[in-house]
């Protein structure tokens, strides 16, 4: 794409860009962050980081591969022009270490089906498990933050303040960055089924002053 380039960017440049656009309004764990520049303007960011649990890392293809698992946990575009998302994601793969197993999720609560993952040839492995997560009345704190700050006993003893909700299930996608030999071996050890892509009509959402499609913010 003419006049576009992708560069590694700092956390200091990543944070304001994500918080200004992404619906979650919080930062994930970030190991690698890459920016999409149109001429000199930062117009997109993709981030990769450690998954939230070792169980998730081991659950993809076993303990042998847990140290090479990364999560694509943010994909944010400022204008969402044609082909920007796939260009950013596809080319960022070339800047990641090999071998790497990528996992990412499309949020069903935001009507996302993972269109951009499908466009970049991720493997679809179905929906995440049904789970509950904690919420705090009059607060937008994430469940993980609540659990870190308040003990389970405290949460259970204060039902007027803390409560459980069913967590929306997410579409799970996997991508392998490695040579053909390693790819064949990892696919053989994959713990999830390889399924047909889910299909759904793209939806629009309004956040602040911007209209975003489902692949303006993936997670």
Q: Is 198 in contact with 55 (CB distance < 8 Å)? A: no
Same structural domain, 78 and 53: yes
Q: Are residues 9 and 96 in the same domain?
A: yes
Asked whether residue 46 carries a pLDDT value surpassing 50, the answer given is yes
What pTM, to 2 d.p., does this model score? 0.79
DSSP-assigned states of every residue in 119-170 = HTTPEEEEEPPPEEEEEETT----HHHHHHHS-HHHHHT-TTTEEEEEEPPE
**100: containing domain:** 4-128+169-213
194 in the same domain as 162: no
Place 218 in a pLDDT band, splitting at 50, 70 and 90: very low
Residue 56 has pLDDT above 60, yes or no: yes
What confidence tens digit (pLDDT) does each residue in 92-151 have? 999 999 999 999 999 888 788 998 999 999 999 999 888 888 999 998 887 878 998 999
What is the number of structural domains in the chain? 2
Quick check: is 74 in a domain?
A: yes
CATH of the domain at 194: 3.40.630.30
What is the distance between the alpha carbons of residues 17 and 143, in angstroms, rounded to a whole number?
Answer: 23
89 & 154 share domain: no
Q: Are residues 86 and 139 both part of a single domain?
A: no
Q: How many CB atoms lie within 10 A of CB 185?
A: 15
**Same structural domain for residues 158 and 122?**
no
Question: What is the mean pLDDT of the segment spanning 46-58?
Answer: 91
Of 182, 175, 40, which Cα lies nearest the Cα of 119? 175
Same domain membership, residue 180 and residue 140: no
Q: What is the pLDDT of residue 11?
A: 94
């Amino acid at each position: 794409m003419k006049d576009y380039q992708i560069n590694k960017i700092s956390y200091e440049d990543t944070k304001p860009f994500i918080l200004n656009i992404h619906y979650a309004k919080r930062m994930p764990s970030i190991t690698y962050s890459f920016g999409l520049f149109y001429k000199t303007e930062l117009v997109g960011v993709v981030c990769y980081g450690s998954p939230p649990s070792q169980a998730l890392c081991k659950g993809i293809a076993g303990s042998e591969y847990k140290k090479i698992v990364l999560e694509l946990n943010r994909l944010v575009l400022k204008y969402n022009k044609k082909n920007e998302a796939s260009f950013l994601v596809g080319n960022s793969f070339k800047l990641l270490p090999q071998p790497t197993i990528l996992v990412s999720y499309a949020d069903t609560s935001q009507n996302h089906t993972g269109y951009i993952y499908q466009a970049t040839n991720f493997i679809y492995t179905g929906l995440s498990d049904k789970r509950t997560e904690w919420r705090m009345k009059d607060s937008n704190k994430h469940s993980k933050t609540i659990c870190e700050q308040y003990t389970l006993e405290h949460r259970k003893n204060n039902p007027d303040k803390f409560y459980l909700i069913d967590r929306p299930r997410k579409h799970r996608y996997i991508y392998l960055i490695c040579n053909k030999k390693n790819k064949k071996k990892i696919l053989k050890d994959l713990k999830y089924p390889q399924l047909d892509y889910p299909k759904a009509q793209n939806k629009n959402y309004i956040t602040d002053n911007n209209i975003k499609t489902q692949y303006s913010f993936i997670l």
